[in-house]
Amino acid sequence: MGTPRPGVVTAAIVLLALGSGAADAFSFAALGAVFTSVMTGNLVLLGVAVVHADPGAAVRAAVAIAAYAAGVLGAASWLRDTGPAGSGPWPGRVVGALTVVPAAQAAVLAAWLAASARPATALQVTLIAVSAAAMGVQGTAVNTVAVSGGATTYLTGTLTALMTELATTGSPHTMRRRLAVLAAALVGASLEAVLLTWARPAAPALPLVAALIVVTTGVLRPTTRSHRRS
């Protein structure tokens, strides 16, 4: 079985990173100051909430962490028999796992609209859980593709690797991919802020659209016979 062209995979990863940035901006600005993909930030927020005896903030952060972990566990279980790129049925399995992401984001959008874009606390926590679980699935699925510089949900490592590569002898192709991922997350967060300000009911649609493009346009479909990682 072949692997997708590097440029096609990069496009998919950039779209997913854009969606990840949008999902984090949405959850932080509209669902109670937590993230749905940045678990390091949530661990910090949980510690602060515990010290300040803020049960609402603690519950949000804890739910996000637990849901993300559940998404990772579920996706890893689904993908555990998938070999390295080119040695097993990874494209179908990865795309199958990634279909969870737009499905979850569609549920978030539907609930958001049903609540007139002003969800009560209990619904906010539910939406955090659904979105965080989707981000856990996304991160695990992208890891399975094993693309260098292709993380879409934990970008501190991407920034660290990029700066290290700039200071040493990094691959220009990989560095460009890392930079594109970081830029995409920034653009996604910025666009999400615009939506929340000027088109609030449509705010959860951005991460949904980004993931939907990836899973419906065949961007991860194998197109070459190469067994090398992109």
The pLDDT, as a whole number, for residue 149 is 85
Residue 87 clears pLDDT 50, i.e. is over it: no
- When pLDDT is cut at 50, 70 and 90, the band that residue 41 belongs to is very high
* Mean pLDDT, rounded, for 146-175: 90
- When pLDDT is cut at 50, 70 and 90, the band that residue 117 belongs to is very high
* Mean pLDDT, rounded, for 170-196: 95
Looking at every residue in the chain, the average pLDDT score rounds to: 89
DSSP secondary structure, 184-201, as one string: HHHHHHHHHHHHHHH-GG
Decide if 105 contacts 20 (C-beta within 8 A). no
Q: Where are the domains of the chain?
A: 6-216
pLDDT tens digit sequence for 54-79: 999 999 999 999 999 999 999 999 98
The pLDDT, as a whole number, for residue 57 is 97
Looking at this protein, which amino acid is placed at residue 93? R
Tell me what percent of the chain is helix, strand and coil, each rounded to the nearest 5.
70, 0, 30
The secondary structure of residue 117, as a DSSP letter, is: T
6-216 folds as Growth Hormone; Chain: A; (1.20.1250)
The pLDDT, as a whole number, for residue 82 is 59
